[in-house]
Amino acid sequence: MNRGKVQENIRNMAMTAMFAAMIYVLTAFVHIPTHQGYVHVGDGIIYLSAAILPVPYAMAASAIGAGLSDYLSGYAVWVLPTVIIKSLTVLTFTNKNNRIINKRNLFGVIPAGLICVGGYYVSGVLVAIISGSAVSAAFGGAVADILTNTIQSLASGILFVAMGASLDKINIKRMIRV
Mean pLDDT of 121-146: 90
Q: How far is residue 91 from each of residues 98, 106, 128, measured CA to CA in Å?
A: 18, 13, 28
Q: Which residues contact 25 (CB under 8 A, 6 or more apart)?
A: 42
Q: Is 171 left (phi over 0), alpha (psi -120 to 50) or beta?
A: left
Q: What are the pLDDT digits (tens) for 65-89? A: 999 999 999 999 999 999 999 999 9
User: Which residue ranges form the domains of the chain, and what is each CATH number?
Assistant: 3-177 (1.10.1760.20)
Band of the pLDDT at 1, cuts 50, 70, 90? Answer: low
Of the chain, the end-to-end C-alpha distance in Å amounts to: 19
Band of the pLDDT at 32, cuts 50, 70, 90? Answer: confident
**Element (H or E) spanning 32, and its range?**
strand 31-33
Instruction: Say how many residues make up the chain.
Output: 178
Q: What are the pLDDT digits (tens) for 151-166? A: 999 999 999 999 999 9
Quick one: pLDDT at residue 178? Answer: 53
Tell me which of 104-113, 115-124, 141-150 is least confident.
141-150
Return d(Cα 175, Cα 167) in angstroms, integer: 10
Specify the pTM: 0.93
Task: Classify 40 as helix, strand or coil.
Answer: strand
- The amino acid sitting at 151 is I
Return d(Cα 58, Cα 105) in angstroms, integer: 14
